[in-house]
Amino acid sequence: MALKFRGVDFIEFDPLLSDDERLVRDNTRKVIEENLIPIIEQCNREGRFPKELVKPMAELGFFGANLKGYGCAEMSNVEYGLVMQELERGDSGVRSFVSVQSALVMYPIYAFGSDEQKNKWLPALQKGEKIGCFGLTEPDFGSNPSGMRSRAKKEGNEYVLSGEKMWITSGSIADVAIIWAKCDDEDSNIRGFLVETSRPGFRAADVHGKWSLRASVTSSLSLQDVRVPAANLLPKSDGLKSPLMCLNQARYGIAWGAIGAAMACYDTALQYSKFRKQFRDQPIASHQLVQEKLVWMITEITKAQLLALQVGRLKDQNRAGHQHISMAKKNNVWMALECARMARDILGGNGIADEYPVFRHMANLESVKTYEGTHDIHTLIIGQSITGIDAF
Protein backbone atom coordinates (compact mmCIF):
# COMPACT_ATOMS: atom_id res chain seq x y z
CA MET A 1 0.00 0.00 0.00
CA ALA A 2 1.57 3.29 -1.10
CA LEU A 3 1.40 5.94 1.59
CA LYS A 4 1.81 9.57 0.55
CA PHE A 5 4.34 11.47 2.67
CA ARG A 6 2.64 14.31 4.52
CA GLY A 7 5.53 16.18 6.07
CA VAL A 8 6.69 16.15 9.69
CA ASP A 9 6.54 19.34 11.76
CA PHE A 10 5.49 19.10 15.39
CA ILE A 11 6.60 22.46 16.82
CA GLU A 12 6.15 24.81 13.86
CA PHE A 13 9.64 24.23 12.53
CA ASP A 14 8.78 25.65 9.12
CA PRO A 15 8.51 29.26 10.32
CA LEU A 16 12.14 29.00 11.48
CA LEU A 17 13.08 28.67 7.81
CA SER A 18 13.29 31.54 5.34
CA ASP A 19 11.07 31.62 2.26
CA ASP A 20 14.03 30.57 0.12
CA GLU A 21 14.85 27.66 2.42
CA ARG A 22 11.27 26.38 2.33
CA LEU A 23 11.18 26.78 -1.45
CA VAL A 24 14.36 24.74 -1.89
CA ARG A 25 13.03 22.01 0.38
CA ASP A 26 9.60 21.89 -1.22
CA ASN A 27 10.99 21.81 -4.75
CA THR A 28 13.37 18.99 -3.81
CA ARG A 29 10.53 17.13 -2.10
CA LYS A 30 8.44 17.36 -5.26
CA VAL A 31 11.30 16.07 -7.40
CA ILE A 32 11.88 13.12 -5.07
CA GLU A 33 8.17 12.26 -4.93
CA GLU A 34 7.81 12.34 -8.70
CA ASN A 35 11.11 10.79 -9.81
CA LEU A 36 12.69 8.68 -7.07
CA ILE A 37 9.88 7.29 -4.91
CA PRO A 38 8.19 5.46 -7.83
CA ILE A 39 11.37 3.55 -8.76
CA ILE A 40 13.42 3.21 -5.60
CA GLU A 41 12.03 -0.09 -4.32
CA GLN A 42 12.73 -1.77 -7.66
CA CYS A 43 16.23 -0.25 -7.72
CA ASN A 44 16.79 -1.60 -4.22
CA ARG A 45 15.60 -5.08 -5.26
CA GLU A 46 17.87 -5.09 -8.29
CA GLY A 47 20.83 -3.50 -6.52
CA ARG A 48 20.81 -0.77 -9.18
CA PHE A 49 21.84 2.86 -8.82
CA PRO A 50 19.32 5.07 -10.71
CA LYS A 51 21.92 6.68 -12.93
CA GLU A 52 19.17 8.17 -15.07
CA LEU A 53 18.58 10.71 -12.27
CA VAL A 54 22.12 12.13 -12.40
CA LYS A 55 21.47 14.68 -15.13
CA PRO A 56 18.09 15.83 -13.74
CA MET A 57 19.67 16.30 -10.30
CA ALA A 58 22.49 18.29 -11.88
CA GLU A 59 20.00 20.53 -13.68
CA LEU A 60 18.34 21.24 -10.32
CA GLY A 61 21.68 22.37 -8.90
CA PHE A 62 22.11 19.55 -6.38
CA PHE A 63 25.83 18.97 -7.10
CA GLY A 64 28.12 21.36 -5.24
CA ALA A 65 25.00 23.26 -4.25
CA ASN A 66 26.65 25.25 -1.46
CA LEU A 67 29.80 26.18 -3.42
CA LYS A 68 30.35 29.53 -5.09
CA GLY A 69 30.88 29.99 -8.82
CA TYR A 70 31.66 27.38 -11.51
CA GLY A 71 27.95 27.03 -12.30
CA CYS A 72 27.06 25.97 -8.74
CA ALA A 73 23.72 26.92 -7.20
CA GLU A 74 25.36 28.89 -4.36
CA MET A 75 22.80 27.73 -1.81
CA SER A 76 23.21 28.49 1.85
CA ASN A 77 24.31 25.59 4.03
CA VAL A 78 20.82 25.33 5.50
CA GLU A 79 19.32 25.12 2.01
CA TYR A 80 21.87 22.48 1.09
CA GLY A 81 21.01 20.55 4.26
CA LEU A 82 17.31 20.57 3.39
CA VAL A 83 18.16 19.15 -0.04
CA MET A 84 20.05 16.35 1.69
CA GLN A 85 17.07 15.74 3.98
CA GLU A 86 14.70 15.23 1.08
CA LEU A 87 17.16 13.13 -0.91
CA GLU A 88 17.61 10.72 1.99
CA ARG A 89 13.89 10.62 2.63
CA GLY A 90 13.94 9.03 -0.80
CA ASP A 91 16.97 6.81 -0.22
CA SER A 92 20.29 6.97 1.64
CA GLY A 93 22.14 5.65 -1.40
CA VAL A 94 20.98 8.49 -3.63
CA ARG A 95 21.85 11.04 -0.97
CA SER A 96 25.24 9.35 -0.63
CA PHE A 97 25.88 9.83 -4.33
CA VAL A 98 25.10 13.56 -4.13
CA SER A 99 27.14 13.92 -0.93
CA VAL A 100 30.19 12.32 -2.52
CA GLN A 101 29.89 14.30 -5.74
CA SER A 102 29.48 17.54 -3.79
CA ALA A 103 31.35 17.30 -0.48
CA LEU A 104 34.03 14.73 -1.26
CA VAL A 105 34.89 15.47 -4.89
CA MET A 106 33.89 19.03 -5.78
CA TYR A 107 34.73 20.47 -2.35
CA PRO A 108 38.38 19.24 -2.24
CA ILE A 109 38.95 20.56 -5.76
CA TYR A 110 37.31 23.84 -4.71
CA ALA A 111 39.27 24.09 -1.44
CA PHE A 112 42.66 22.60 -2.38
CA GLY A 113 42.83 22.73 -6.17
CA SER A 114 44.58 25.07 -8.57
CA ASP A 115 42.62 27.47 -10.75
CA GLU A 116 43.29 25.19 -13.71
CA GLN A 117 41.92 22.18 -11.82
CA LYS A 118 38.86 24.08 -10.68
CA ASN A 119 38.05 25.38 -14.16
CA LYS A 120 38.53 21.94 -15.71
CA TRP A 121 36.60 19.80 -13.27
CA LEU A 122 34.05 21.79 -11.26
CA PRO A 123 31.73 22.84 -14.11
CA ALA A 124 31.72 19.30 -15.54
CA LEU A 125 31.03 17.76 -12.12
CA GLN A 126 28.31 20.31 -11.40
CA LYS A 127 26.56 19.47 -14.68
CA GLY A 128 26.80 15.74 -14.04
CA GLU A 129 28.92 15.35 -17.17
CA LYS A 130 31.63 13.84 -14.99
CA ILE A 131 31.23 11.68 -11.90
CA GLY A 132 33.75 11.55 -9.09
CA CYS A 133 34.67 9.37 -6.11
CA PHE A 134 36.75 9.86 -2.96
CA GLY A 135 39.50 7.41 -2.09
CA LEU A 136 40.52 7.63 1.56
CA THR A 137 39.36 4.48 3.37
CA GLU A 138 41.48 1.37 2.88
CA PRO A 139 40.77 -2.31 3.59
CA ASP A 140 42.70 -2.12 6.88
CA PHE A 141 42.22 1.55 7.74
CA GLY A 142 38.79 3.13 8.22
CA SER A 143 38.53 4.90 11.55
CA ASN A 144 42.31 5.38 11.52
CA PRO A 145 42.99 6.90 8.08
CA SER A 146 46.45 8.09 9.16
CA GLY A 147 47.59 4.47 8.91
CA MET A 148 46.95 4.35 5.15
CA ARG A 149 49.42 2.40 3.04
CA SER A 150 48.78 4.15 -0.29
CA ARG A 151 51.95 5.79 -1.57
CA ALA A 152 52.82 8.50 -4.08
CA LYS A 153 56.34 8.56 -5.50
CA LYS A 154 57.61 11.59 -7.40
CA GLU A 155 59.37 10.74 -10.67
CA GLY A 156 60.26 13.76 -12.75
CA ASN A 157 57.07 15.57 -13.74
CA GLU A 158 54.88 12.69 -12.63
CA TYR A 159 53.67 10.95 -9.50
CA VAL A 160 53.37 7.17 -9.35
CA LEU A 161 50.52 6.05 -7.10
CA SER A 162 50.06 2.61 -5.59
CA GLY A 163 47.56 1.36 -3.04
CA GLU A 164 44.13 -0.07 -2.30
CA LYS A 165 40.95 1.76 -1.31
CA MET A 166 37.72 0.21 -0.02
CA TRP A 167 34.04 1.09 0.46
CA ILE A 168 34.20 3.78 -2.20
CA THR A 169 30.85 5.23 -3.28
CA SER A 170 30.57 5.61 -7.09
CA GLY A 171 33.99 4.01 -7.61
CA SER A 172 33.19 1.99 -10.73
CA ILE A 173 31.14 4.73 -12.43
CA ALA A 174 33.53 7.59 -11.66
CA ASP A 175 35.51 9.51 -14.26
CA VAL A 176 37.88 10.92 -11.65
CA ALA A 177 38.96 9.81 -8.19
CA ILE A 178 40.30 12.00 -5.40
CA ILE A 179 43.02 9.72 -4.07
CA TRP A 180 44.78 10.38 -0.77
CA ALA A 181 48.27 8.97 -0.42
CA LYS A 182 51.49 9.41 1.55
CA CYS A 183 54.21 11.16 -0.46
CA ASP A 184 57.62 9.53 -0.36
CA ASP A 185 59.38 12.83 -1.09
CA GLU A 186 57.53 14.71 1.70
CA ASP A 187 58.30 12.47 4.68
CA SER A 188 55.02 10.56 4.15
CA ASN A 189 52.87 13.71 4.26
CA ILE A 190 49.34 12.93 3.06
CA ARG A 191 48.36 14.70 -0.17
CA GLY A 192 45.38 14.57 -2.51
CA PHE A 193 45.59 13.69 -6.20
CA LEU A 194 43.18 13.90 -9.11
CA VAL A 195 43.31 10.50 -10.78
CA GLU A 196 41.41 9.92 -14.00
CA THR A 197 39.96 6.44 -13.77
CA SER A 198 40.94 5.64 -17.36
CA ARG A 199 44.65 5.68 -16.49
CA PRO A 200 46.60 2.41 -16.82
CA GLY A 201 46.90 0.57 -13.53
CA PHE A 202 43.64 1.95 -12.09
CA ARG A 203 40.94 -0.64 -11.45
CA ALA A 204 37.56 -0.43 -9.71
CA ALA A 205 35.51 -3.47 -8.69
CA ASP A 206 32.01 -3.32 -7.24
CA VAL A 207 31.18 -4.77 -3.84
CA HIS A 208 28.41 -7.36 -4.23
CA GLY A 209 26.18 -9.05 -1.66
CA LYS A 210 25.30 -5.85 0.19
CA TRP A 211 22.21 -5.83 2.41
CA SER A 212 22.52 -2.05 2.75
CA LEU A 213 22.76 0.87 0.30
CA ARG A 214 21.69 -1.47 -2.50
CA ALA A 215 20.70 1.47 -4.73
CA SER A 216 24.24 2.87 -4.44
CA VAL A 217 27.46 1.85 -6.20
CA THR A 218 30.08 0.72 -3.66
CA SER A 219 33.51 -0.24 -4.93
CA SER A 220 37.07 -1.18 -4.13
CA LEU A 221 39.86 0.68 -5.91
CA SER A 222 43.24 -0.71 -6.85
CA LEU A 223 46.10 1.50 -8.03
CA GLN A 224 49.10 -0.35 -9.40
CA ASP A 225 51.81 2.14 -10.40
CA VAL A 226 49.30 4.63 -11.74
CA ARG A 227 51.11 7.57 -13.30
CA VAL A 228 49.60 11.05 -13.12
CA PRO A 229 51.10 14.41 -14.08
CA ALA A 230 52.50 16.44 -11.19
CA ALA A 231 49.82 18.97 -12.13
CA ASN A 232 47.23 16.49 -10.81
CA LEU A 233 48.40 17.05 -7.23
CA LEU A 234 45.92 19.18 -5.29
CA PRO A 235 48.45 21.91 -4.42
CA LYS A 236 46.76 23.18 -1.25
CA SER A 237 46.21 19.75 0.27
CA ASP A 238 48.50 19.26 3.25
CA GLY A 239 48.28 16.40 5.72
CA LEU A 240 45.40 14.42 7.15
CA LYS A 241 43.51 17.60 8.02
CA SER A 242 42.71 18.08 4.32
CA PRO A 243 40.63 14.90 3.81
CA LEU A 244 39.12 15.40 7.26
CA MET A 245 37.89 18.83 6.15
CA CYS A 246 36.17 17.09 3.24
CA LEU A 247 34.61 14.55 5.59
CA ASN A 248 33.26 17.41 7.70
CA GLN A 249 31.39 18.69 4.68
CA ALA A 250 29.90 15.26 4.05
CA ARG A 251 29.05 14.66 7.71
CA TYR A 252 27.09 17.89 7.79
CA GLY A 253 24.93 16.71 4.90
CA ILE A 254 24.45 13.32 6.55
CA ALA A 255 23.14 15.00 9.71
CA TRP A 256 20.32 16.50 7.65
CA GLY A 257 19.84 13.44 5.47
CA ALA A 258 19.22 11.16 8.43
CA ILE A 259 16.29 13.37 9.45
CA GLY A 260 14.69 12.66 6.08
CA ALA A 261 14.98 8.90 6.57
CA ALA A 262 13.53 9.22 10.08
CA MET A 263 10.64 11.33 8.78
CA ALA A 264 9.81 8.70 6.15
CA CYS A 265 9.75 5.92 8.77
CA TYR A 266 7.78 7.91 11.32
CA ASP A 267 5.14 9.11 8.88
CA THR A 268 4.71 5.61 7.49
CA ALA A 269 4.31 4.14 10.98
CA LEU A 270 1.87 6.87 12.04
CA GLN A 271 -0.37 6.41 9.01
CA TYR A 272 -0.20 2.63 9.26
CA SER A 273 -1.10 2.64 12.95
CA LYS A 274 -4.30 4.53 12.22
CA PHE A 275 -5.73 2.02 9.74
CA ARG A 276 -4.25 -1.24 11.03
CA LYS A 277 -6.80 -2.76 13.45
CA GLN A 278 -6.13 -5.28 16.19
CA PHE A 279 -8.12 -6.18 19.34
CA ARG A 280 -11.74 -5.01 19.62
CA ASP A 281 -11.60 -3.78 16.01
CA GLN A 282 -9.60 -0.73 17.11
CA PRO A 283 -6.64 0.84 15.27
CA ILE A 284 -3.32 0.00 16.89
CA ALA A 285 -2.73 3.76 17.25
CA SER A 286 -5.10 3.51 20.22
CA HIS A 287 -2.66 1.25 22.08
CA GLN A 288 -0.48 2.84 24.72
CA LEU A 289 2.66 0.97 23.68
CA VAL A 290 2.29 2.07 20.05
CA GLN A 291 1.68 5.66 21.07
CA GLU A 292 4.80 5.57 23.24
CA LYS A 293 6.90 4.59 20.20
CA LEU A 294 5.35 7.28 18.01
CA VAL A 295 5.89 9.90 20.71
CA TRP A 296 9.56 8.93 21.07
CA MET A 297 10.02 9.17 17.33
CA ILE A 298 8.45 12.61 16.84
CA THR A 299 10.26 13.97 19.90
CA GLU A 300 13.67 12.84 18.69
CA ILE A 301 13.00 13.99 15.12
CA THR A 302 12.05 17.42 16.43
CA LYS A 303 15.23 17.66 18.50
CA ALA A 304 17.29 16.54 15.51
CA GLN A 305 15.68 19.20 13.30
CA LEU A 306 16.64 21.92 15.76
CA LEU A 307 20.20 20.59 16.13
CA ALA A 308 20.73 20.42 12.37
CA LEU A 309 19.25 23.87 11.84
CA GLN A 310 21.48 25.48 14.49
CA VAL A 311 24.61 23.79 13.11
CA GLY A 312 23.57 24.95 9.66
CA ARG A 313 23.11 28.52 10.87
CA LEU A 314 26.57 28.38 12.50
CA LYS A 315 28.04 26.96 9.29
CA ASP A 316 26.55 29.82 7.29
CA GLN A 317 28.33 32.18 9.69
CA ASN A 318 31.62 30.20 9.43
CA ARG A 319 31.27 29.36 13.13
CA ALA A 320 30.51 25.62 13.00
CA GLY A 321 33.26 23.52 14.55
CA HIS A 322 34.00 19.92 13.65
CA GLN A 323 32.68 18.96 17.09
CA HIS A 324 29.30 20.54 16.31
CA ILE A 325 29.07 18.59 13.06
CA SER A 326 30.14 15.40 14.86
CA MET A 327 27.32 15.85 17.38
CA ALA A 328 24.76 16.38 14.62
CA LYS A 329 25.96 13.36 12.63
CA LYS A 330 26.21 11.08 15.68
CA ASN A 331 22.88 12.05 17.20
CA ASN A 332 20.78 12.28 14.08
CA VAL A 333 21.88 9.02 12.49
CA TRP A 334 21.41 7.15 15.77
CA MET A 335 17.98 8.75 16.11
CA ALA A 336 17.01 7.81 12.56
CA LEU A 337 18.08 4.19 12.98
CA GLU A 338 16.07 3.89 16.20
CA CYS A 339 13.06 5.44 14.43
CA ALA A 340 13.40 2.91 11.62
CA ARG A 341 13.53 0.02 14.10
CA MET A 342 10.50 1.29 16.01
CA ALA A 343 8.58 1.86 12.79
CA ARG A 344 9.39 -1.70 11.68
CA ASP A 345 8.06 -2.90 15.03
CA ILE A 346 4.80 -0.97 14.62
CA LEU A 347 4.29 -2.38 11.13
CA GLY A 348 4.81 -5.93 12.40
CA GLY A 349 5.28 -8.44 9.60
CA ASN A 350 4.51 -5.78 7.01
CA GLY A 351 7.59 -3.92 8.24
CA ILE A 352 9.93 -6.33 6.44
CA ALA A 353 8.19 -6.00 3.06
CA ASP A 354 9.23 -3.38 0.52
CA GLU A 355 5.61 -2.42 0.06
CA TYR A 356 6.70 0.05 2.74
CA PRO A 357 10.07 1.88 2.85
CA VAL A 358 10.89 1.17 6.49
CA PHE A 359 13.15 -1.88 6.26
CA ARG A 360 15.08 -0.36 3.35
CA HIS A 361 15.75 2.76 5.41
CA MET A 362 16.70 0.65 8.43
CA ALA A 363 19.21 -1.40 6.43
CA ASN A 364 20.63 1.73 4.78
CA LEU A 365 21.05 3.54 8.07
CA GLU A 366 23.18 0.71 9.43
CA SER A 367 25.79 1.81 6.88
CA VAL A 368 25.22 5.53 7.45
CA LYS A 369 25.88 4.97 11.16
CA THR A 370 29.29 3.54 10.23
CA TYR A 371 30.59 5.64 7.35
CA GLU A 372 31.99 9.17 7.57
CA GLY A 373 33.04 8.45 11.15
CA THR A 374 31.38 5.77 13.26
CA HIS A 375 29.09 6.56 16.19
CA ASP A 376 31.93 5.75 18.60
CA ILE A 377 34.51 7.88 16.77
CA HIS A 378 32.21 10.89 16.87
CA THR A 379 31.72 10.26 20.57
CA LEU A 380 35.49 10.55 21.04
CA ILE A 381 35.66 13.69 18.87
CA ILE A 382 33.06 15.37 21.07
CA GLY A 383 34.76 14.04 24.20
CA GLN A 384 38.08 15.55 23.14
CA SER A 385 36.35 18.87 22.49
CA ILE A 386 34.73 19.14 25.91
CA THR A 387 37.62 17.73 28.00
CA GLY A 388 40.64 18.78 25.99
CA ILE A 389 41.92 15.20 26.26
CA ASP A 390 42.42 13.01 23.19
CA ALA A 391 41.13 9.51 23.97
CA PHE A 392 41.88 7.96 20.58
> Which residues belong to the active site?
372
Burial 204-216 (b: 16+ CB within 10 A, else e): beeeeeeebbbbb
